[in-house]
């Protein structure tokens, strides 16, 4: 204890106080980018994660009270550092200062400074307030957003009778209330482009509505309760999970899921939420019980079949729809066409170094999901009732952290994944993950580690390594080998695959970051050549990136990137993209600017390049650059007053080798696309 006090005093006398940042951590943005590029998705749902950090900036995390789940859901602190901090707290008591994080075993100065940007060590707040006070003494936020594609699209031609029913304006209203991250409630209203507004199918106005009320840590007994729209997390996501990430990315050891089992739903992504009530209680020490129930209506491709019962014909559907678009008569006919009843629970027993939990989820649909006629989908869930059960565990021994989950679906089969995180020393850490998802296993919305999002028909092993020989240098690499024992979409035979990533980072404090990243993936896919029988052949995809980020002044940051891609299957194709970002955020001036210009040239879509783009608050975009052309965007943010912030975004994409952009009703007759967005934020 004396040594600890001496060390803390020395740190306090040689360090400056670390001020709270006013923005989402750059490390978080970097991790989001690298993970989502691997998913090759243009639109992403990370609203909950962004809302978490935005809330922490106004109400910091109390390090002396935070639980393992609270730290893990940050997704930027690895398992060893979290457990080491909890051990330190248990042995020495509450931390005296944020700087004391530096003396926790396994923590670097950089780690400590990062956590300190959105945390505090204030006195205990473990007391029960009246719900009325929590519901009225917090922070209110109101967002009004509008966006539009300025270029004329075929679906909005006024002379056409077969276009979209609504105009091409998109509107969103979002209200959010937060009291010290303990009570939150809010609503979301949204109209997508092409949907009717206060007319036709949407005579009441907005097409999408979501609302939630969430209470956290109300007492030692009541840990969480959510009313309205919410999401559920179980184990490592073999059944379902509400957290972002824990997949293959440049953050090679961020492969373990965690966090609280219940979260309020904050997203505009339709058809992914539960609607009803969920609660977590702790009837005795170390035991948590979570129960939930939900009734929602999902979009689906409905088919009505004749049966012997004329009054009750059998109703079937071929698939769920996740887009949330209701722009045409056909899309409107699929809206809310399937009733979903869902309920389940979690029983979890935890001790300091281990836990075990049992999970169950039952789903009942008003229509029967049809058996697929495609051979690769022969094991896909068909029917109207599905039950998933699983057992998940975690165990820590010295520098080894074991975790995993084994799940069963009825009807269906088994799925399992097991992992271990181990720290060889302060600067070397590794991760190992084995998964075996049988072709017969089925889950509706799983979110687990793997090559495929479906958590089915995959067996593989992953190894990640991170080495930090000094503050300036970091080496990261992973290798993932897998096999698909049955057919899959686009591959008409059992197949294998392998994937590698290597990255070298060089940092100069907070002024300069340079990294070189290489990615390689080889897997089998049906030949692109026209043959009577599809014959899978090996395809090889490679990407090489050089990224330089330099903090020129406190207000000005420059980011430069060059990326090259190569794709080989029977023949080879190549592509490249050159990007330049300018981020200007003056400390004492209300206007900030973020802009980018990109030049790209690829032989085809196979050599496309994905890159994260800065956007207005609560939106992220990762376009695919392909063909030949140029893209630029500019974001403006003006803090008009302490209570009002205005944002504006304009983006332009121009192709040099195309005469049209898009397809179907979204087709633009020309080589240029212009997008505009605007948002007002009121805080009170």
Angle CA 162–166–170, to nearest 5 = 135
Tens digit of each residue's pLDDT (9 = 90 or more) over 596-609 = 999 999 999 999 99
Q: What mean pLDDT value characterizes the chain?
A: 87
Distances (CA, A) of 72 to 69, 88, 258: 5, 17, 6
Tens digit of each residue's pLDDT (9 = 90 or more) over 370-416 = 877 888 889 999 999 999 999 999 998 888 999 999 999 998 899 99
Q: Which pLDDT score, from 0 to 100, does residue 3 have?
A: 43
Boundaries of every domain in the chain: 2-18+60-120, 218-499
Q: How confident is the model at residue 85 (pLDDT cuts 50, 70, 90)?
A: confident
Tokens of 443: 């889950």
Give the separation between CA 578 and CA 264, rounded to whole angstroms. 39
What would the mean pLDDT of 132-136 be, rounded to a whole number? 87
Q: How confident is the model at residue 123 (pLDDT cuts 50, 70, 90)?
A: low
Q: How confident is the model at residue 511 (pLDDT cuts 50, 70, 90)?
A: confident
Q: Return the sign of the alpha-carbon dihedral for residues 653, 658, 660, 662.
A: negative
Give the separation between CA 450 and CA 418, rounded to whole angstroms. 12
Distances (CA, A) of 313 to 20, 141, 157, 303, 344: 62, 48, 39, 10, 30
Q: Which pLDDT score, from 0 to 100, does residue 7 have?
A: 43
State the chain's maximal CA–CA distance in angstroms.
85
Q: Do 82 and 71 touch, CB atoms closer than 8 A? A: yes
Q: Which pLDDT score, from 0 to 100, does residue 593 have?
A: 96
**Is the pTM here over 0.85, yes or no?**
yes
3-state secondary structure of 616: coil
Ranking 12-26, 262-276, 541-555 by mean pLDDT, the lowest is: 12-26
Tens digit of each residue's pLDDT (9 = 90 or more) over 661-677 = 999 999 999 999 999 99
Tokens of 536: 């899978």
Q: Which residues pair with 564 in a beta bridge?
A: 544, 576
534 or 186, higher pLDDT: 186
321 or 646, higher pLDDT: 646
Concatenate the DSSP letters of all residues of 580-597 into one string: EEEEE--TT-SEEEEEEE
659 or 312, higher pLDDT: 659
The fold of the 218-499 domain, in CATH, is Porin (2.40.160)
Give yes or no for residue 22 having a pLDDT over 80: no
Q: Which residue reads 């340079």 in tokens?
A: 514
Q: Do 47 and 267 touch, CB atoms closer than 8 A? A: yes
Which of 28-32, 42-46, 73-77, 448-452 has the largest mean confidence? 448-452
Nearest to 493 by CA among 534, 439, 440, 455: 534
3-state secondary structure of 646: strand
Tell me the percentage of the chain whose pLDDT exceeds 90.
Answer: 58
Q: How many CB atoms lie within 10 A of CB 530?
A: 6
* CATH of region 2-18+60-120, choose from 1.10.3720.10, 1.10.150.120, 3.10.580.10, 1.10.150.280: 1.10.150.280
Query: What's phi and psi for 651, nearest 5 deg?
Result: -135, 140
| Local structure of residue 587 (DSSP, 8 states) | T
Q: Which residue reads 């492969």 in tokens?
A: 255
Q: Which pLDDT score, from 0 to 100, does residue 160 have?
A: 79
Tens digit of each residue's pLDDT (9 = 90 or more) over 364-383 = 999 999 877 888 889 999 99
9 or 316, higher pLDDT: 316
Q: Which pLDDT score, from 0 to 100, does residue 588 have?
A: 85
Nearest to 93 by CA among 115, 59, 124: 124
Give the separation between CA 481 and CA 459, rounded to whole angstroms. 9
Give the separation between CA 626 and CA 603, rounded to whole angstroms. 8
Concatenate the DSSP letters of all residues of 429-467 into one string: EEEEEEEEE-TT---SB---SSSSTT--SEEEEEEEEEE
| Local structure of residue 43 (DSSP, 8 states) | B
248 or 519, higher pLDDT: 519
Give the separation between CA 630 and CA 613, rounded to whole angstroms. 14
């Amino acid at each position: 204890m004396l040594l600890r006090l001496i060390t803390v005093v020395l740190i306090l006398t040689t360090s400056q106080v670390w001020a709270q940042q006013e923005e989402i951590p750059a490390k978080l943005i970097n991790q989001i980018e690298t993970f989502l590029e691997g998913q090759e998705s243009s639109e992403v749902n990370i609203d909950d994660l962004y809302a978490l950090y935005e809330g922490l900036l106004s109400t910091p995390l109390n390090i002396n009270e935070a639980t393992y789940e609270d730290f893990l859901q940050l997704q930027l602190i690895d398992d060893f550092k979290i457990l080491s901090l909890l051990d330190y707290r248990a042995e020495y008591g509450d931390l005296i200062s944020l700087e004391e994080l530096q003396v926790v075993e396994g923590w670097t100065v950089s780690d400590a400074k990062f956590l300190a940007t959105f945390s505090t060590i204030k006195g205990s707040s473990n007391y029960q307030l009246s719900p009325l006070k929590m519901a009225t003494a917090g922070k209110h936020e109101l967002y009004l957003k509008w966006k539009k594609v300025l270029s004329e699209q075929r679906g909005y031609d006024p002379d056409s009778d077969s276009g979209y029913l609504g105009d091409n304006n998109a509107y969103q209203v979002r209200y959010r209330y937060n009291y010290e991250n303990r009570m939150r409630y809010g609503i979301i209203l949204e109209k997508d482009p092409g949907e009717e507004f206060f007319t036709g199918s949407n005579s009441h106005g907005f097409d999408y509505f979501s609302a939630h009320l969430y209470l956290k840590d109300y007492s030692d007994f009541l840990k969480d309760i959510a009313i309205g729209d919410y999401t559920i997390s179980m184990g490592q996501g073999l059944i379902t999970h509400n957290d972002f990430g824990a997949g293959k990315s440049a953050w090679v050891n961020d492969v373990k899921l965690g966090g609280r089992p219940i979260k309020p739903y904050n997203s505009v992504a339709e058809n992914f939420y539960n609607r009803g009530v969920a609660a977590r209680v702790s009837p005795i020490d170390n035991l948590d019980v979570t129960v939930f129930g939900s009734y929602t209506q999902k979009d689906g491709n409905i088919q009505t079949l004749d049966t012997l019962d004329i009054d009750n014909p059998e109703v079937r559907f071929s698939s769920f729809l996740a887009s949330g678009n209701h722009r045409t008569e056909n899309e409107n006919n699929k809206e809310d066409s399937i009733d979903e009843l869902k309920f389940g629970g979690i029983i979890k027993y935890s001790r300091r170094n281990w836990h075990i939990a049992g999970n169950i989820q039952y789903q009942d649909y008003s229509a029967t999901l049809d058996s697929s006629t495609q051979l690769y989908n022969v094991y896909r869930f068909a029917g109207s009732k599905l039950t998933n059960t699983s057992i998940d565990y975690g165990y820590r021994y010295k520098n080894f952290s074991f975790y995993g989950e084994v799940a069963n679906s009825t009807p269906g089969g088994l799925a399992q994944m097991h992992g271990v995180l181990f720290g060889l020393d302060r600067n070397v850490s590794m991760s190992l993950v084995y998964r075996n998802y049988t072709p017969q296993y089925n889950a509706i919305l799983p979110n687990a580690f793997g090559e495929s999002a479906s958590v089915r028909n995959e067996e593989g092993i992953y190894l990640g390594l991170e080495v930090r020989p000094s503050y300036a240098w970091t080496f990261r690499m992973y290798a993932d080998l897998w096999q698909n024992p049955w057919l899959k979409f686009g591959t008409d035979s059992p197949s294998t695959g392998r994937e590698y990533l290597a990255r070298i980072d060089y940092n100069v404090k907070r002024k300069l970051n340079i990294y070189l990243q290489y990615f390689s993936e080889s897997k089998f896919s049906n030949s692109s050549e026209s043959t009577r029988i599809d014959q899978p052949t090996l395809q090889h995809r490679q990407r090489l990136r050089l990224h330089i980020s330099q903090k020129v002044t406190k207000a000005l940051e420059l980011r430069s990137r060059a990326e090259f891609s190569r794709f080989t299957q029977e023949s080879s194709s190549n592509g490249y993209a050159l990007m330049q970002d300018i981020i200007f955020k003056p400390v004492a001036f209300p206007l900030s600017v973020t802009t980018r210009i990109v030049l790209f040239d690829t032989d085809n879509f196979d050599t496309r390049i994905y890159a994260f783009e800065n956007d207005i608050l609560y939106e992220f975009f990762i376009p695919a650059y392909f063909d030949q052309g140029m893209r630029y965007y500019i974001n403006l943010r003006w803090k008009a007053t302490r209570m009002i912030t205005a944002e504006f975004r304009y983006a332009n994409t121009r192709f040099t080798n195309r005469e049209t952009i898009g397809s179907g009703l979204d087709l633009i007759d020309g080589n240029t696309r212009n997008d505009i967005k605007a948002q007002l934020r009121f805080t009170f």
